Structure 1
Amino acid sequence: MAGVAAVTSAAKRASVHKLSEEEFWALVAKIRSAHAAAAVQMRESYIALDACDKWMKGQVDRNVPYQEKHVVQQVSIMGNMETFGLLPRGGAEDATKEIALKNAPAVVEFGAGRGYLTQMLADCYGIKNIFLVERRSYKLKADRSLRQNEGVKLERLRIDIEDLSLRGVKALSGSQYLAIGKHLCGPATDMTIMCCLHELHNRTEEKGHDKHHLRGLALATCCHHLCQWKHYANKAFLSGLGIAEEEFHAMTWFSSWAVDGDHSSQDSLESEDSSSEVIR
């Protein structure tokens, strides 16, 4: 699939605009069917637990860039991870007890950027074995601060997620790991899932006890309109619902409408009515 070119935003927009009204509503019906088949109840899940209290109160090293918006998001990611049993309840103090009893999981942060999500995870939950996957080079990284934490082992993997094989990361061998990511774009999310599941499949096939294995994923996504069919992690599911590649790309373009202004405003409603009249 490496030779398949990405579908541009302009091409996606064009695929939507060329739909007839009948084709548009047929696609909407397929989307509703897919949503119903997934059988997942969509709900808000903002969770802030005591383990991250010092970050919420701003009681952290002032050499670390601190933005309340990002801290609140990161705290909720960790709160959900703890709620789902991926992190020890109670934070770093209880994590230390867990480490004494068994191997604590490593953390692989995909699309890590400067690494501040993992830094909070290390501060609040005592994570010691850290791998940051990022293709770009950044200034003001969290690496220096992380390495000052006693016992922390940190490795940066400067590589595209698409090209990453965790089997080649020797320092991860024999470890459980958590895969995390914040603000991963659509295709990066799919490539992260495929990277982790590929390793899980290989471990099952080889029945090797010395291999690393996935303990859980916690991915906060963004930019769904950038999703690509060639990277999508579950084509069989959509194909089973009669959704083909071109319709998939139209759907990804629809996703941008959710953040495209305030559709509940009177001006927006009047604009939509006007647009509908033109279409008819």
Structure 2
Amino acid sequence: MLGPAAPSLTSPGSPGPSLPGRCAYFVARKKRFCRMVPALGKRFCGEHGHQEKENDRKRIPCPLDPKHTVYEDQLQKHLKKCNSREKPKPVYFVQDINAGLKDVAEIPEKQVTLSSLSKEELENLIIKLKKASNGLELDLKEQILSHKALHEALNDPKNGESAFKHLKQQASILGNMEKLHLLGPGRCFIEFGAGRGKLSHWVDVALQDVEDTQFLLVERATTRFKVDGKHKKRDSIFERLQVDIQHLCLNKVPSLEKKRLPVVGIGKHLCGAATDLALRCLVESYATCCEGENEEPAAKRPKNDKTEVAAKSSADSADNERNKDDFKPVAGIVIALCCHHKCDWTHYVGREFFKSVGLGPVEFHYFQRMSSWATCGMRETITSTSEDHTNNTEEHDQPYSKTESGFDTLQGLPVEERKEIGALCKLLIDHGRIRYLQQRGYRATLHHYTESAISLENVLLTAKPYLFSSVTPEYTSA
């Protein structure tokens, strides 16, 4: 007996009979037979065993995940090993440590969509946007670089167009890291939103002759086709942290706590609010704590020699002060930005900047929606890539929701004007991030790191801590 949606085996387009030794259940959603192996003497696998006439055992949906079923008489046994069961939290999991805003009273309960705004309301928003952007550097400089580590891969004819585009971006990111002197020994590279870990892979290739390097790959989802296995024979330490950046406390990562290496935060197309979470993770929950831990009290001295005590205490105090200035737990930050339409006021690090130019959560809500207009042209060229998504495409390559951006309902604005407004929204949001970093002692910049033909999301944020406390932060975008 076949599944309920099994087609006639003689009908046009029929998938034919099930494979020998495989389940005889037809999966209508996938338009093929189940490929699981049934028990000896059975026609159906355990998941579809209820199809057997002679089987009196009842299968019920799993309470942890109703997408699969389980024999009712084996429920308790199944719950102990189900992949959907809640797993113990790792030691570096601290609930909402990088979340940002705690008082939700500042956020309006409900926001209307862009398509619901009147023409006057939309015009007022655009006026506010342009006023807030006055004085900002609107034309970012290009800093399109490359790195010798990717030279062979970039010239490999086996790579298709999609792979070539990703390699060009990775090469430029490494080139910018090299220019900032961030590629060197004695460092821990933390890739946020690591996915398959390709960016860390190329950083490791670039540092193949360098000792004492460590890599932490942060990704909240399980990932297929990871490249981590290529590094097992190397001295570099590759470690994956499966955790949302929102809950990641770097100070409690055992390997990082043990080696105490300066960290370099990196990311390729770190989507929306994830960028803000990563910046707060590095700059606040990690750097602030590490600098505090470095301040050790002076050791006790004998009381019988007051002169010696005073001299040594003075020397210890000077050493502590010098160590405090020299110790920089975060050596640098290099993040390729993307998906500003997925930013969130709760997590956004540039709230103080927005308030300083007369803006708040309401304007931020609309600006982050309007930011998707900057990539209007993407919709004209995107084709369905769902099957290739795990291999070459990225989240920012996917088409945006039309209802989300109001793209189809604002035809009163020409396409070019929409793109210009969207780009201004993205730039304003990014300047808030730059100001946040500068106020915390970093020299931060924005620039184009690749051509728009390679990626429409082509802005790179870089930051390094100031070396001397006497240096006055300078607000710059290039």
Same fold (TM over 0.5): yes
Partner of 1:146: 231
CA distance in 2, matches of 1:272, 1:35: 26
1:29 maps to a residue whose letter is I
Q: Which amino acid aligns with 2:181?
A: G
Structure 1 residues 59 and 238: alpha-carbon distance in aligned structure 2, compared to 1, 3 A threshold: same
TM-score scaled by structure 1? Answer: 0.76
1:23 has 2:107 as partner:
no
**Can you list the C-alpha shifts for 1:224-256, whole angstroms capped at 9, x where unaligned?**
101000010110000111111111010011111
Distance (whole Å) between structure 2 residues aligned to residue 158 and residue 130 of structure 1:
14
Q: Is the counterpart of residue 186 in structure 1 residue 272 in structure 2?
A: yes
1:129-168 residue pairs with structure 2 within 5 A?
Answer: 129-149=214-234, 151-168=235-252
Of residues 114-123 and 204-213 in structure 1, the stretch that sits farther from structure 2 once superposed is 204-213
Aligned to 2:317: none
SS of corresponding position for 1:42: coil
Partner Cα distance (2:116, 2:252) in 1: 45
SS at match of 1:130: strand
Q: Say which SS state the counterpart of residue 195 (structure 2) adopts.
A: coil
Aligned residue pair count: 247
Question: Relative to structure 1, is the Cα distance of residues 40 and 217 closer, same or farther in structure 2, using a 3 angstrom cutoff?
Answer: farther
Structure 1 residue aligned with 2:176? 80
Structure 1 residue aligned with 2:189, among 107, 116, 127? 107
**Structure 2 residue aligned with 1:90:** none
Give yes or no for contact 2:345–2:365 (8 Å, CA) kept in 1.
yes
Of 183, 193, 200 in structure 1, the residue corresponding to residue 287 of structure 2 is 200
Cα distance in 2 between the residues matched to 1:49 and 1:158: 29
SS at match of 2:182: coil
The code of the aligned residue for 2:168 comes to V
**Which blocks of at least 5 consecutive residues in structure 2 are unaligned?**
1-100, 296-322, 380-407, 415-478
User: Alignment RMSD, CA only?
Assistant: 3.3
Aligned to 2:347: 231
Look at both structures and tell me which one has the larger radius of gyration over its CA atoms: 2
Cα deviations by residue, 1:209-237 (Å, 9 ceiling, x for unpaired): 79871111111122110100001011000
1:138 match: secondary structure: coil
Structure 1 contact 175–212 (Cα < 8 Å) conserved: no
Structure 1 runs (4+) deviating above 6 angstroms are: 209-212, 271-274
How far apart, in 1, do the equivalents of 2:103 and 2:157 lie? 49
Q: What TM-score do you get using the length of structure 2 for normalisation?
A: 0.46
Q: Which has the higher contact order (CA 8 A, sep 6+)?
A: 1
How far residue 36 of structure 1 moved from its aligned partner, in angstroms, is 3.5
The corresponding residue for 1:170 is 254
Give the match's secondary structure for 1:178: strand
Identical amino acids, percent of aligned pairs: 31
Alpha-carbon distance between aligned partners in 2 of 1:68 and 1:135, rounded to the nearest angstrom: 27
Given that 2:115 and 2:410 are in contact with CA atoms closer than 8 Å, whether structure 1 keeps it comes out as no
Summarize deviations over 1:65-92 as a string: whole Å, max 9, x none: x9222111111111111122322xxxxx
Distance verdict in 2 for CA 1:54–1:274, change over 3 Å: closer
